Amino acid sequence: MRTYVITGGTDGIGRGLGLHWLGRGDRVIAIASGAEKGAAFLSEASRLGAADRAHFLRADYRGLRAAMQASRCIDLLGIHFPQRHPGARTRYVLYNPMFTRTAMADSLPTAQRLVSKAAAVLFAQSVAEAIVPVVELVDIPPYAPVSAFRRRTPIPLTGKDFDPDAARRLDAVTAALLAETTA
Ligand SMILES: NC(=O)c1ccc[n+]([C@@H]2O[C@H](COP(=O)([O-])OP(=O)(O)OC[C@H]3O[C@@H](n4cnc5c(N)ncnc54)[C@H](OP(=O)(O)O)[C@@H]3O)[C@@H](O)[C@H]2O)c1
């Protein structure tokens, strides 16, 4: 039995993946900010007969700006990971699912939300479709220590999003911050 920790695991793509892995017999720890969605996730897990393998942790990583920054930081920390841990078995996969029908637009102002929801009906894939390539990548990770994909299309690790100097600087700042908080 594997254990999966899913940040944002109570809705959308994270929830889809969580329920898939619970259905397969694995253990899932879903992290999200809302107790209501957490309870709904646990109740769905129960319905699948996986109550003892499903866990919900409440944590709030608030703010769209913070989320965008975090997403950029995750890319850069992934790029630097092999330098920090040469020879590690861990595989970093930076993954963009592209447009998927989820609750992501729910918090937008009304006009943007309506446009986004309408566009999703026309152009977005379902969660069930979105999770398939993710499950494949987790089951059989790419050989390279770090790789990036848009759906199934590999993306070259070039350009400013994957800049090795920025990655090195972020790694140093992160290590210093962690040393401060654990001192
Ligand atoms: N949907 C798309 O078209 C699309 C496209 C490209 C990339 N992505 C990325 O894929 C990921 C999943 O997106 P999704 O569409 O599945 O989103 P979603 O349906 O809105 O689900 C988001 C999940 O994150 C949790 N969450 C939201 N705000 C949080 C906070 N402040 N602190 C902790 N947890 C929080 C939500 O639960 P709570 O609200 O209860 O906290 C929920 O479990 C996101 O990183 C998104 O940027 C999505």
Cα angle 170, 61, 8; round to 5: 105
Mean pLDDT of all residues belonging to the chain: 93
124 and 51 part of one domain: no
45 and 131 part of one domain: no
80 and 126 part of one domain: yes
Mean pLDDT, residues 157-183 taken together: 90
- Best residue among 28, 29, 33 to mutate for probing ligand 1's pocket (most ligand atoms within 8 Å of CB) is 33
68 and 50 part of one domain: no
Question: Which tens digits make up the pLDDT trace of 7-35?
Answer: 999 999 999 999 999 999 999 999 999 99
Boundary of a domain, candidates 13, 36, 58: 58
pLDDT given at position 143: 93
Residue 92 CA to ligand 1 centre (angstroms): 20
Residue 99 CA to ligand 1 centre (angstroms): 12
Q: For atom 17 of ligand 1, which residue has the closest CA? A: 104
174 sits in which H/E element: helix 164-182
54 and 68 part of one domain: no
Question: Which tens digits make up the pLDDT trace of 120-155?
Answer: 999 999 999 999 999 999 999 999 999 999 999 999
Residue 163 CA to ligand 1 centre (angstroms): 26
78 and 163 part of one domain: yes
Residue 139 CA to ligand 1 centre (angstroms): 22
Question: 83 lies in which domain range?
Answer: 64-182
Contact 80, 168 (CB under 8 A): yes
Strand spans (E) along the chain: 3-7, 27-32, 54-58, 92-96, 146-150, 153-155
Ligand 1: atom nearest CA of 107 is 20
What's the domain count of the chain?
A: 2
pLDDT given at position 63: 67
Boundary of a domain, candidates 40, 58, 76: 58
pLDDT over 90 at 116, yes or no: yes
Ligand 1: atom nearest CA of 99 is 3
Ligand 1 pocket (Cβ < 6 Å) reads 8-14, 32-34, 37, 59-62, 96-100, 102-104
35 and 102 part of one domain: no
Boundary of a domain, candidates 33, 58, 83: 58
50 and 71 part of one domain: no
Ligand 1: atom nearest CA of 32 is 34
